[in-house]
Amino acid sequence: MAKQSTSVWSFQGIGEEINGFFTDVRGVISDLRPRYRTSSTQPAGGSAKDPPMLDPVRFKRILFRLLKLLILIELFNALSEGATRHEWGRFGVDLILAGILFAMWERITTTLKEKKEQYRRKMEVSSQNVGLWDSLAFSLLWSDEIYADIPADRRRLVVISYTLIALGLVAAFVKIGTGLMPLIVSGALVLAAVNLLIWVVSLERGEKETLQTELKLARDVQMSLMPKASPAVPGFDIAGMSVPALDVGGDLFDYSRLGPAGDRFGISVFDVSGKGMQAAMAAVFTCGAFASEAGKSGSPAEILTRLNKAVWSHSRKGHFVAFLLAVIDPARKTLTFANAGQTKPLLASRGEVRWLDGVGVHFPLGMKDDSCYQECTVQLSRGDRLFLLTDGFTDAMNPEKEMFGMERMEQLICRPPATSLDAARTLEYLTQEVRRHASGAPQHDDMTMVIACAF
């Protein structure tokens, strides 16, 4: 059964808030005690490996609970003064306000939590249209996640900022000095905290802009490696495209003439593990190594076996390349392919769709140095359509985390209008359907596909 939440305005809720407040304070003290003990044992002039530092999430929780308790104290103080001085009008107003808070607190909290994901998407996708209420609701509902994302080297500064804010609140309530002095002290402390937080944000923004520059360069490198136009192959209509994700991956496709005679047409679709510039540089190396091997043989199995040794020798440990090489013989109307860990080719023939299984090992390139790949040959007929795609299409998810899936892809390919479109327009149609399914959710992986239609 779901755990029932307790209103902070009930007596049970007040007790839980007080108990939680002192529990968190004790936890902070217990965390700091061994850290200070460790730092005190460091040699003179040395730096502690684990300097004393508060947990931002716990510190935030203490601050929020303190604010709730202060508000409750003020409310009870107003009720007490109204009853003591027989100011029944004020007493009645305060009592009505307390009743409204008691009745609406749970409903407001529940409603906001139901829209938690909606606020997050609005902040991420449409930040230029976010208003004051959206920002307030997002910052409160997603506070734990926000603090969890603070880099470790910035947490000390964030904790210091919260400490300054807490001191500012204490100064306002304690009323240090007379006249405007409490306001000046509180304002100075809060202003210092805000300036420190702004500086932390500016540091993160600068690092983010540097990363974005690197990602843009990586995307430019990635896109420059792919064909700019559809190839001319007798008896076939061929088109390919790659839609890069927000985080640059390593998806690529390419066309090539294979063998010494160049009479066989090769289509390569591969995905380099990793993201950003590292993946882009690995893709550059893979393209160069493949071009070197493509002119030596017309067999996809031989090419992948040789290419695997090159990738194994030059790639970093734990980095692989999923590679599918499909070779079309225009004269014989045959397809020969070898698959090294890539998504299976999809063949639509005579109203039926099937995924083409390979034979032999299916390890991605670079996983084992002695992998020996094998190839399969399929006879093609007029009207057959071949789809070579990466998992960015089938794994695309909507806001409810539901994947597009292979079954949807099969259904789209088998029914109009896909059955009557040429290769280029079929690519556009399938991409639109995947985006419609995503319903605005971020694209986390490149979507690459090449279609070859026999006529």
Strand partners, 238: 452
H or E element at residue 317:
none
Tell me what pLDDT residue 327 has: 95
Q: How far apart are CA 342 and CA 61, in angstroms?
A: 47
Q: Please answer whether residues 241 and 427 qualify as being in contact, where contact means their C-beta atoms are separated by less than 8 angstroms.
A: yes
Residue 342 CB contacts under 8 Å (≥ 6 apart), including other chains = 269, 270, 271, 322, 323, 324, 364, 390
Tell me what pLDDT residue 415 has: 86
Task: Please report, for residues 174, 257, 275, 344, 422, the alpha-carbon distance to residue 227 in angstroms, rounded to integers and kept in the order given.
Answer: 71, 13, 21, 22, 18
Peptide bond into 417 cis (omega under 30): yes
Q: How far apart are CA 147 and CA 141, in angstroms?
A: 12
Tell me what pLDDT residue 51 has: 43
- Taking the CA atoms of the chain, what radius of gyration do you get in angstroms? 32
pLDDT per residue over 68-118, tens digit each?
676 667 667 766 766 677 666 666 776 677 667 666 666 666 777 777 777
Tell me what pLDDT residue 1 has: 38
Residues of the chain with pLDDT under 50: 1-9, 36, 39-52
Strand partners, 346: 355, 387
Q: Please answer whether residues 347 and 385 qualify as being in contact, where contact means their C-beta atoms are separated by less than 8 angstroms.
A: yes
Q: Identify the CA nearest to 57 among candidates 135, 150, 128, 138.
A: 150
Strand partners, 379: 334
Q: How far apart are CA 249 and CA 231, in angstroms?
A: 25
Distance separating the N- and C-terminal Cα atoms of the chain: 61
The pairing of beta strand 334-340 with beta strand 321-329: antiparallel
Structure tokens at 50: 């684990």
Tell me what pLDDT residue 446 has: 83
Tell me what pLDDT residue 301 has: 93
Q: Structural domains in the chain? A: 11-40+47-213 (no CATH), 227-454 (3.60.40.10)
Cβ neighbourhood burial of 223 (10 Å; 0-12, 13-18, 19+): middle
pTM assigned to the model: 0.58
